[in-house]
Structure 1
Amino acid sequence: MFSALQKANFYLGTFGFFKVPLIWLCRPKLLKLDENEVELRIPLKRRTKNHLNSMYFGVLAVGADVAGGFMAMSKAQQRGKRVSLAFKEVEGKFLKRPEADVHFICKDGQLIDDMLDETLRSGERVNQPVRIIATCPSLHGDEPMAEFSLVLSLKAR
């Protein structure tokens, strides 16, 4: 019927619309979601760009948030467990102006699995930085436009 990626995109859209409308307004679309990696795209449109016709840095932060957080939510749901998820710190390096659709890639699936294992075993909050790279493949291939480090905080509920 529907692929896992289609279901994940439906969930992301619904979550954004009802829980975090700014995510919904940015229109992220998951392109890849597997055990180790998530990749999503946010289109460069009127509502996501700044006065320089590049992606507004707040939208870049939304993309990094979704890329880092969606994998953790997805993995917890796959396990049938409820976890509290938040970001405690954010560090961003803006390297080049993203003047096209931006792809956000997080390859920290194993780290997130380890964090889930620890919080489910101990019941304590676990904090670890996850790394997200933002690229503009249509203009610059795999060259990073921005790099983010977000401290993901997970706690079993």
Structure 2
Amino acid sequence: MFSPLFKANLYLSLFGWSKVPLIWYCRPKILTLNEQKVEIRIPLKRRTKNHLNSMYFGALAVGADIAGGFMAMNKAESRGEKISLAFKAVQGEFLKRPEADVVFMCEDGALIDNMLDRAIETGERINESVTINALCPSLHGDEVMARFVLTLSVKQRR
């Protein structure tokens, strides 16, 4: 009845509201979610702006967090597996001020599949780096505004 993208956005909103209110406060929206890629948009509004009228660092971190983690959560759920997911490290490179809505893109679906396979097979915690690019398509097309490398850590919960 409802599309998978609608359900994913509803889940993200409820997760943010109930577990991580800062996610809910930033009002992210999933634009694309498939086996290889996730795209998340955070609107540039009063609640996500800094004093320079560009996206605040904290809102950028929220977008990178969601783009890096939501695909892993979604893939584990679709397999019927429960996983513990965390980020162990973050690196950020800020290239240009994002002065419009920001789209966060992670194209590491194959890497995340491999991580989940190894975590389920071994029962061990698996750590790998995922890359998230932040773009302002309405102003700068495919030019990267910021790049994040997050160390994603997954382990199967028993």
**Same fold, TM-score > 0.5, yes or no:** yes
Distance 1:24 1:146 in 2: 22
- Following superposition, the deviation at residue 122 of structure 1 comes to 0.2
Distance 1:25 1:106 in 2: 22
Structure 2 counterparts to residues 32-43 of structure 1, below 5 A:
32-43=32-43
Structure 1 counterpart of 2:71? 71
Structure 2 counterparts to residues 99-114 of structure 1, below 5 A:
99-114=99-114
1:6 has 2:6 as partner:
yes
Q: Secondary structure at the match of 2:70?
A: helix
Distance 1:124 1:90 in 2: 21
**Size of the alignment, in residue pairs?**
157
Distance 2:49 2:145 in 1: 14
Q: Secondary structure at the match of 1:12?
A: helix
TM-score in terms of structure 2 length: 0.99
Distance 2:144 2:16 in 1: 26
Q: Secondary structure at the match of 2:99?
A: coil
TM-score in terms of structure 1 length: 1.00
One-letter amino acid of the counterpart of residue 12, structure 1: L
Distance 2:137 2:102 in 1: 8
One-letter amino acid of the counterpart of residue 146, structure 1: A
- Following superposition, the deviation at residue 137 of structure 1 comes to 0.1
Structure 2 counterparts to residues 131-142 of structure 1, below 5 A:
131-142=131-142
- Following superposition, the deviation at residue 84 of structure 1 comes to 0.2
Root-mean-square deviation (CA, aligned residues, Å) is 0.3
Q: Secondary structure at the match of 1:89?
A: strand
One-letter amino acid of the counterpart of residue 33, structure 1: L
- Following superposition, the deviation at residue 41 of structure 1 comes to 0.2
Q: Secondary structure at the match of 1:97?
A: coil
Structure 1 counterpart of 2:48? 48
Structure 2 counterpart of 1:151? 151
One-letter amino acid of the counterpart of residue 130, structure 1: V
Q: Which runs of 5+ in 1 are unaligned?
A: none
Runs of 4+ displaced beyond 4 Å: none
One-letter amino acid of the counterpart of residue 60, structure 1: L
Distance 2:135 2:149 in 1: 15
- Following superposition, the deviation at residue 121 of structure 1 comes to 0.2
One-letter amino acid of the counterpart of residue 120, structure 1: I
- Following superposition, the deviation at residue 108 of structure 1 comes to 0.1
